[in-house]
Structure 1
C-alpha cells in the first residue's frame, strides 16, 4: 500500500444507552460526522481500494456512511482484530494488505491515534489525539514500518 486512511469511528451513543459496547450505534451527530468524512474524502479525491472496519456497530456504521459518499467504493471488510487493538496489532493486520494502493481502516482510540503517531513519528507515545469522526491520510515512503509515513492530511468534523 502507498496510502493509508485511518478513520476513527464517529460519535456513538453512551454505553449507558445501549448497554453493550460492541453494539453502540452512532448518535445522530455521529451519523452526520461519518457522512461529512465521506464527503471530505470524495472532495479531495481520496479513494480507498480496500476498506477494513472493526465489527463494532459504531465503526461499521461510520465506515458504511463514509463509503456511501464515494463513487466506486470498495466492499467493506469487517476485521474483528481491529476492536481494542494496539498499534502493533493494527500494523500486523495492515501488513497483510501490503499490495499497492490505498487502504482505509476504521477503528477506535487509543489504537488509531497511536498508530498515526507510530507510523509518522516512529513512537506510539507521541500521539496528539483524534476526536470521533476524525481521519488521517498517510503516505507511506516504502515499507509499512514505524516512522516511515508522512501525514498528508488530517480532518476532523
Structure 2
C-alpha cells in the first residue's frame, strides 16, 4: 500500500468558522503544483480521502473531483483515526491520498517513521509518501517528501 499524506494548501486566516476557511490565491497555486507532481506519479485508481474542511476539499479539487469526504480526517482528529480511515497498512486501495491538517498529518508521519506520535511539522501543501511492503518482515518505506516550493 502507498499512503500519501497531503497537508492542505495555504488558507485564509479567518472565516465564519474553521471548517469554511478557503484557500488563498497562493494556496490554489500550491495545490495545483502538487497535483501536477502527483498526476505524474500515481495510478488512476488511487483513492483520495479528505477532511470535511473547505480548504482540504479545495486542495484535493486541484487534482480533480475523485475524492471522498471523511469525517475521521476533520481538524483535531487523531493520527490513528487517519490511519484507520485509509485502512493502513492493508489499505482501502493500493494508493490512498489523505488530504488533511496539521498537527495530525505530522503526527501520522512521526508514528509511521518512529513508532510514536510526535509534533512533526509538515509544510502547507506538503507531501509525505509512505509505502508498506513485506520483505520477510513488514517494512515502512518513506518514498518521498516534498512541498510546492521545491516543485
Find the residue that maps to 1:4 and give its secondary structure: strand
How many residues matched?
142
Could you give the per-residue CA deviations for residues 30-74 of structure 1, whole angstroms, max 9, x where no partner exists?
A: 00000011111123x223621100010000000111x13xxxxx7
What TM-score, normalized by structure 2, do the two folds share? 0.85
Moved over 6 A (4+): none
Within 5 A, what are the aligned runs for 1:78-117?
Answer: 78-83=69-74, 84-95=76-87, 98-117=91-110
For residue 88 of structure 1, report the CA deviation from its aligned partner.
Answer: 1.4
Rounded to whole Å, the distance in 2 between the matches of 1:139 and 1:98 is 11
Structure 1 portions without partners, runs of 5+: 69-73
Rounded to whole Å, the distance in 1 between the matches of 2:2 and 2:32 is 21
Q: Aligned-residue CA RMSD in angstroms?
A: 2.0
Is residue 39 of structure 2 the alignment partner of residue 42 of structure 1? yes
Structure with the bigger percentage of helix: 1
Q: Which residue of 1 aligns with 2:48?
A: 51
Is residue 10 of structure 2 the alignment partner of residue 11 of structure 1? yes
Rounded to whole Å, the distance in 1 between the matches of 2:54 and 2:47 is 19
Structure 2 portions without partners, runs of 5+: none
